Chain A
Amino acid sequence: MLKKLILAAPLAAMLAVPSVEAAEKIKVGIVLTLTTPASIMGKQMKAAYEVAYDHLGGKMGGKELELIFEDDGLKPNIGKQKTEKLVKKDKVDFLTGYIWSHVLGASAPVALKAGKIFVSANAGHSLYAGKKCHKNFFNAAWENSQNSMAMGTMLNQRGVKNLYILSLNYAAGKQMVAGVERTFKGNVVGKDLVPTSHKDWSAEIAKVKAAKPDGVFVFYPGSWGLAFFTQYKQAGLDKTTPLYSVFSVDGANLPVYQKRKMKHMIGTFNTMFWAPDLDNAVNKRFVADFAKKYKGQIPSHYAAQAYDSLMLIAAGVKAAGGDAKNTDAVRKGMEEADFGSVRGKIKFGKNHFPIQNFYARQVINKNGQWQLSVRQTVVEDHAPVMSNECKL
């Protein structure tokens, strides 16, 4: 009798444990910029996470899923505090979001130290793709210079011989320039990096006119883009010199350009790993449901990345049989990345950054709504250049 009881106790305990766990929720902490002028992207990403939540049926690996959103206010110290709060107080299983490299730089170590899996949904910090790569760090977007490298290749394909480069004088701005110069084969006839406090390009635009390039490459995200593209037209350059941009014309700011009637943006080219009309079933469903959720808008690549981030986590949890605490099993599932991505297919390198195609996209006016449309594949299966510096 006693012997039976001794045998039964651990059995009962074994039976009891999963039932307790089944009641536990899977918590995902999401840090985005939801205030400040940069909240245009953050709010789209929040909506995309919610679309992904709906598509997952509010569950991951058979367990109830809870998303906890936090605002970093575009400040590294606040991002770090919010990450600490999510880790210690909310006891989340995963961290994702993170739009800015400097916020990620301050926050990721907190999460990684606590043994959490961290998925960047935008910030493409080069260090994490190379020397600082970490077994629990994933990026569901890109590495900073990848997109502008694709741009350089696209410029070669389109026969641009003389290029003028304009960017912002800070870390990401310089990485964009380095990327395009790495692949562009023609002449760089001029280059200006302006300080971020800058909103008037009169001097630079006069230099562009004097240099007579056959293409201008720009990296002017957000409000810089709004101001720069306005002045580009006022100087009459829109009629003579085509604009090629990265991270400056996207689904988040096209509605603003349309509202301000900046018609010269139609027809301009940029590069990206994704577009709303990329032809696959997952993407079609995502784009349609996003519009229903968020002001009828067409999602931006930011939203696409957010969607894939949550789906990537879900794939990991599913592979681990719903046991989010089993980090090794979750990580293995995430590395395999067997899920329906808006990219069509997705795979990860050993540094946990996507190896992916980049496309040439053009701004079109379709049914009265300005949007980006895929023109051709520029590079296939592109991996960050610093991937082999990663010793995982």
Chain B
Amino acid sequence: MNYTLLAEQFFNGFQLGIILFLVAAGLTLIFGIMDLVNLAHGTLYMFGAFFASTLVAVTDSLVLGMILALPVMLAAGLLLEFSILRTLYERNHLDQVLATFGLILFFNELFLIVWGPEGTGINLPPYLTGTITLPGGITVPEYRMVIIASGLLVALLLYVLVSKTRVGMLIRAGASNREMVGALGINIKLLFTLVFGLGAVLAGFAGMIITPITQADSGMGESILILAFVVIVIGGIGSIKGAFIAAILTGLIDTMGRSFIDVALLQIMDTVAAETAGPAISSMMIYILMAIILAIKPSGLFPPKGA
């Protein structure tokens, strides 16, 4: 066993988990508290990528561009909630799926028209393009460490917000029992708007920090959306803690699967069979994980209390 490779893959899996968490955190709150199936959550991720790319290009600074993109994301999220999604709360899930799927198509095409078919991207400044060598000869690109660090920082801030503040208390209460929160005289509409804005900023942040790695193209939100749904189902819908643990778990399982399944399969079958089965099984890993967890805990790892 190559331990350096194992350690590097651990970092890679962790970093994927962080991105998944940022997307899933908003999705789980919106689904859990507002009972809104928002397929366009991946679109918010795309928003972040494109807005930040343009702002980084305009300001010629990675940090400044991304910081400026955050309030833009908040505004975009609030505008979307206020203009379109607000009318969907009373509707059933099928209507919500249809309407938000429409939003995906609309924004994908719009971004294609505005930014062109080649999309856009962010170039890393020279001080972030190197690699860090950790003890044991483990090398990790600097920027991936930045993603891990900033993601953990956001997770910490979110933890403080949700578990230590009054707004956080209302969010938790909303996830457990929405009607009761409303009955107690809390302005549930305002709470919904706030939650949606928060979710938009988190998804947008994920989209912007991944852009220097994957570049931005129209339609980038859909692949992350499916993974984010897997994460919130595993973690328990409405639970931030569940989303965090499930995201890290999913990131690690997916990366480890891609790294070692083909080698493992070679031990038990011939080369041709292993080469065919390897990619298939490794892309199924997280779904297998989801199935196992749902079989044991049908409402996910950490269902909000009372739900």
In the assembled complex, 6 residue pairs joining A and B whose CB atoms fall closer than 8 Å, in A order, are A37-B218, A223-B118, A223-B217, A226-B217, A236-B131, A260-B215
Residue A68 CB within 8 A of the other chain: no
Which 5 A-B residue pairs are closest in the complex by CB-CB distance?
Answer: A202-B12, A197-B223, A199-B214, A203-B258, A210-B5
Which of A193, A199, A200, A236 is the one whose CB lies under 8 Å from B279? A193
Q: Please, which residue of chain A has its CB at the minimum distance from the CB of B129? A: A234
- Does B219 sit at the interface, judged by CB under 8 A? yes
| Given A233-B129, A234-B124: A203 and B255 interface contact (C-beta under 8 Å) | yes
The one of A199, A200, A206, A231 that contacts B9, using a Cβ cutoff of 8 Å: A206
Cα separation A81 to B2 with both chains bound (whole Å): 53
A297 within 8 A of B: no
With the chains together, A169 CA to B4 CA distance in Å? 27
- Name the A residues within 8 Å of B214 (CB-CB): 199-200, 227, 230-231
Further contacts, 10 of them, CB under 8 A, given A200-B214, A234-B213: A43-B117, A169-B279, A191-B275, A193-B279, A202-B144, A203-B255, A223-B217, A227-B214, A231-B214, A259-B118
**Cα of A259 to Cα of B116 in the assembled complex, Å:** 13
Please pick, from A43, A207, A259, the residue contacting B259 in the complex, using a CB distance under 8 A: A207
Tell me whether A37 and B210 are in contact (CB under 8 A). no
Binary interface encoding of chain B residues 3-18 relative to chain A, with 1 for a CB under 8 A from any of its CBs, else 0: 0110011001101100
**CB of B102, distance to nearest CB on chain A (Å):** 17
With an 8 A cutoff between CB atoms, is B283 at the interface?
A: yes
Is A209 on the interface with B (CB-CB < 8 A)?
yes
B98–chain A nearest beta-carbon distance, Å: 20
> 1/0 per residue A176-214: CB within 8 Å of B?
000000000000000111110111101110110110000
Q: How far is the CA of A194 from the CA of B258 in the complex (A)?
A: 9
A19 at the A/B interface (Cβ < 8 Å)? no
A210 & B258 in contact (Cβ 8 Å cutoff): no
- The answer for the CA separation of A200 and B259 in the assembled complex, in Å, is 13
A193 to B262: give the CA distance in the assembly, Å.
11
- Which residues of B does A touch, CB under 8 Å? 2, 4-5, 8-9, 12-13, 15-16, 109, 112, 117-119, 121, 123-124, 129-131, 139, 141, 143-144, 210, 212-215, 217-220, 222-223, 226, 255, 258-259, 262, 275, 279, 283
Q: Which chain A residues lie closer than 8 Å to B13 at the CB level?
A: 203
Give me the interface of A with B, judged by CB distance under 8 Å.
35-40, 43, 169, 191-195, 197-200, 202-204, 206-207, 209-210, 223, 226-227, 230-231, 233-236, 253, 256, 259-261
For the complex, give the distance between the alpha carbons of A194 and B218 in Å.
20
**Which of A226, A227, A256, A259 has the most B CB atoms < 10 Å from its CB?**
A227
Q: What's the Cα separation between A236 and B222 when bound, in Å?
A: 29
Does the CB pair A195–B279 fall under 8 Å? yes
Chain A residues with CB below 8 A from B119, complex form: 37, 223, 226
Q: What separation, in Å, do the CA atoms of A103 and B175 have in the docked complex? A: 46
Complex interface: chain A residues within 8 A of B283 (CB): 169, 195
A204 CB contact (under 8 Å) in B2, B112, B215, B258: B258
In the complex the two chains form, is A210's CB within 8 Å of B4's CB? yes
Is B118 a contact partner of A200 (Cβ separation < 8 A)?
A: no
Contact A37-B121, Cβ < 8 Å, known A195-B279, A206-B259, A235-B141: no
The CA of A236 and the CA of B4, in the complex, are separated in Å by 16
In the complex formed, the residue of B with least CB distance to A261 is B123
Q: Are A223 and B215 in contact, CB atoms less than 8 angstroms apart? A: yes
Check A200 against B213 for contact (C-beta < 8 Å).
Answer: yes
What is the bound-complex CA distance between A231 and B144, given in angstroms?
10
- B255: chain A residues within 8 A (beta carbon): 202-203
- Residues A194 and B279 in contact in the complex (CB < 8 Å), given A234-B143, A253-B118: yes
Q: How far is the CA of A386 from the CA of B122 in the complex (A)?
A: 44
Residue of B nearest to A37 (CB): B117
Q: Closest CB of chain A to B164's CB: distance in Å?
A: 33
Taking a contact as CB atoms under 8 Å apart, the answer to whether A200 and B210 are in contact is: yes
Interface centre among B124, B139, B213 (most CB of A within 10 A): B213
Q: What's the Cα separation between A231 and B140 when bound, in Å?
A: 12
CB nearest to B123 among chain A residues? A261
B218–chain A nearest beta-carbon distance, Å: 6
Check if A38 sits within 8 Å of B259, measured CB to CB.
no
What chain A residues lie within 8 Å of B9 (beta carbons)? 203, 206
Q: Closest residue to A199 on the B side, CB-wise?
A: B214
Q: Point out the residues of chain B lying under 8 angstroms from A39, CB to CB.
A: 117
- Are B117 and A40 in touch, CB under 8 angstroms? yes
How far does the alpha carbon of A236 sit from the alpha carbon of B214 in the complex, in Å? Answer: 16
B142's closest neighbor in chain A, by CB?
Answer: A234
- B213 and A36: CB pair below 8 A? no
Question: Among B2, B226, B279, which residue has its beta carbon within 8 angstroms of that of A210?
Answer: B2
**Cβ distance A255 to chain B, nearest Cβ, rounded Å:** 8
If A226-B121, A235-B141, A253-B118 touch, whether A192 touches B213 (CB-CB below 8 Å) is no
Chain B residue nearest to A34 in the complex (CB) = B117
* Known A-B contacts A37-B117, A203-B258, A234-B124; A227 and B213 likewise in contact (beta carbons under 8 Å): yes
Answer whether A38 and B144 are a contact pair too, CB < 8 Å, given A192-B279, A207-B5, A230-B215.
Answer: no
Q: How far is the CB of B120 from chain A (nearest CB, A)?
A: 9
